[in-house]
Structure 1
Amino acid sequence: MNSHPQHARPANSKHLRINHKAKRGSASAQLHESLRDRIIQLQLAPGQYLSRNEIAAEYGVSQTPVRDALIKLEEEGLIDTFPQSKTEVSRIDVEHALETQFLRLSIELEITRNLAQAADPARISNTRSILAQQSAAMTTGDLDAFSRLDRSFHLSLYEAAGVANLHTVIDARSGHIDRLRNLNLPDPGKLASIFSCHTRILQAIETGNVKDAASVVREHLSGTLAKVDDIRKRHPNFF
C-alpha cells in the first residue's frame, strides 16, 4: 500500500499477522479490526490507495478475509470502492460526524442522567480507575494510550448504565468523528480539556448533580466539532 509518511504514524508490526489457524470469520474480524484501527489512528490516511493483494501479503491471509474486511469497512464509511478501478480510505465526512455526535450526545445525556440519579459510586468504580490511567497517559504525553483510554472511559459509563450494546452501535459509525478527534488531540490544551471534562462528569455523577452532568457532557462532546474549520484548514487533503 502506498504510504503518506507526512501524516501517517507507522504501523506496529506485531499487529500485521493474522492467526493462520483462525476460522474464516475470525480472520476477517481480526483483519477488519486491525485495518479499522489503522484508519482511525490515521496510519492509513484519508485518500490513501489500498491494494487487496498488498493487504493479503502484509497480513499473510488469502483474498477472502481481505474482501470480507473491506466490505465491512465500506459499510462503516471508512473506505470507498470504485468498481473496476480502485479502493481507497474515505475522506472525512463532516456531516456524518455531526450526525454521529447528535446520536451519541442523546444517548450519553441519558446515561449520565441515569447514573447521576442513582448516585452510586460503586457503579463507576471502573470508570474512576480508567480516569487514573488516563491521567498517567496525559502526564507522559502518550497520545495513543490517552485516546484508547478515552474510548474505554465512555464505554465504562455505558456498561455502568447497563446499555453496553449501544456503545457498539455508536462505535460502528464513529469512524469519521474519531479521525477528527485524533487530528485534534495533539493541539495544545486538548488533553487537559478532555481530562477535565471526564473528571467533572464523574464528580457530577457521584454527587447526583444531573444538571451539571448534562452540561459537561454537552461541553465535552462538542469540543472537536467546534474546531472543524481549523482542522480542515490544516489538513485539506483529508476532506
Structure 2
Amino acid sequence: MNKTTPKRPAKIAPPRDMLPQGQVRRVSASQQVHEALRARILALELAPGQPLSRAEVSETYGVSQTPVREAMQRLADEGLLEIFPQSKTEVSRIYIGHAQETQFLRLSLELEVVRRLALAPDRSFVDETDLLIRRQERALADDDVEAFSNLDRALHRRMHSLLGVETLWDLVTARSGHIDRLRNLNLPGPGKSASVVDCHRRIAAAIRAGDPEGGEAVVREHLSGTLERAEDIRARYPAYF
C-alpha cells in the first residue's frame, strides 16, 4: 500500500457521531484536533513513522499550538504518536502486542455484555439494536463506508450502555488504535462487510432468544480474523511495524 503525503484540510472536520437529531455537539479546539488527527492516523492517511510538526498542524487546522500540543499528548498517551522531547514527533509504528492486548480486553468485555443482555428479563431493547442493524444494511447497500463504520461503533456502544458500562467501551476504543490500523491494512475481501452485518443480526437474535451461549459463539466469530493474519500483514507492510 503506497501512502502519499496527506492533503491539508481546509478546516477541522470532526468525525460524525451518531447523535440524536437536534443534539448539538460542542467540543474544544484540542478535542477537535485530536479527533481529526486520530481519524487520519487510523485511516493510514498519516502513515506509521511519518513525522508531525506542531507548527504545521497548528497552521493546517487554524488553531494555536496550545490545543495542538494537548491533542498530540493525548494521542501519545493512546500509543498513536511517539514524542521525542526537543527532537521530533512521529506517528507510532503498529505494535502487534498492543493490538493483541486490546483484542483480549474487547473480547472479554463483549462476551460478558452479550451474556448479560441475553439473560435480561426484559429484552425489548433488541428492537432498538435491530433498527441500527437495518440502518447499517442500508449503508452497506449505498456503499457508504463512513456511515457503515459509524453505525458499527454506535451498535456496540449502545449494547454497552444498556448495561451502564459505556465508559468501558470508550476505554477499549481509546486503546484500539493499533488493532484498528491493522484491520485497515488487512483490506476487507468481498463479502466482509456483509459478514459483519450477518454477525450483528445473529448476535441480536441470540439475545432476543435468551441464548447467551449462542451469542457468545457469534461474538468470538465476529472478533476473530485480523490477528490471525497479523504476521502476513507485517510481512506485506514491514515499514509500518
Q: TM-score, normalised by structure 1?
A: 0.87
1:129 alignment partner in structure 2: 131
Q: 1:10 to 1:141 in 2, by over 3 A?
A: farther
CA distance in 2, matches of 1:14, 1:145: 21
Q: Tell me, yes or no, if the aligned pair for 2:94 and 2:181 is still in contact at 8 Å.
A: yes
CA distance in 2, matches of 1:143, 1:215: 27
Specify which of 57, 66, 70 is matched with residue 55 of structure 1: 57
Tell me which moved more, 116-125 or 59-68: 116-125
CA distance in 2, matches of 1:189, 1:9: 29
Specify which of 3, 8, 21 is matched with residue 6 of structure 1: 3
Task: Structure 2: give runs of 5+ residues left out of the alignment.
Answer: 15-26
Aligned AA (2:162): A
CA distance in 1, matches of 2:28, 2:194: 38
1:191 alignment partner in structure 2: 193
Q: Tell me, yes or no, if the aligned pair for 2:160 and 2:166 is still in contact at 8 Å.
A: yes
Question: 2:85 matched to 1:88?
Answer: no
CA distance in 2, matches of 1:70, 1:86: 12
Aligned AA (1:78): L
SS in 1 for 2:124: helix
Aligned AA (1:230): D
2:47 alignment partner in structure 1: 45
Q: Tell me, yes or no, if the aligned pair for 2:11 and 2:60 is still in contact at 8 Å.
A: no
Q: Per-residue CA shift, 1:176-227, capped at 9, x if unaligned? A: 1111222335333321221121111111111111111011111111222122
Aligned AA (2:89): T
CA distance in 2, matches of 1:212, 1:163: 22
Specify which of 205, 208, 213 is matched with residue 207 of structure 2: 205
Specify which of 223, 226, 232 is matched with residue 225 of structure 2: 223
Aligned AA (1:15): I
Percent sequence identity is 53
SS in 2 for 1:44: coil
Q: Tell me, yes or no, if the aligned pair for 1:181 and 1:224 is still in contact at 8 Å.
A: yes
Aligned AA (1:233): A
Tell me which moved more, 154-163 or 51-60: 154-163
Q: Per-residue CA shift, 1:14-41, capped at 9, x if unaligned? A: 5359xxxxxxx82212211211121112
The structure with the greater share of residues assigned to helix is: 1
SS in 1 for 2:119: helix
Q: 1:197 to 1:41 in 2, by over 3 A?
A: same
Deviation at 1:10, TM superposition (A): 6.0
CA distance in 2, matches of 1:11, 1:198: 36
2:17 alignment partner in structure 1: none
Specify which of 142, 149, 152 is matched with residue 150 of structure 1: 152
Task: Structure 1: give runs of 5+ residues left out of the alignment.
Answer: 18-24
CA distance in 2, matches of 1:227, 1:148: 25
Q: Tell me, yes or no, if the aligned pair for 1:143 and 1:186 is still in contact at 8 Å.
A: no
Q: Per-residue CA shift, 1:18-74, capped at 9, x if unaligned? A: xxxxxxx82212211211121112221111111111100011111111111111100
Aligned length: 229
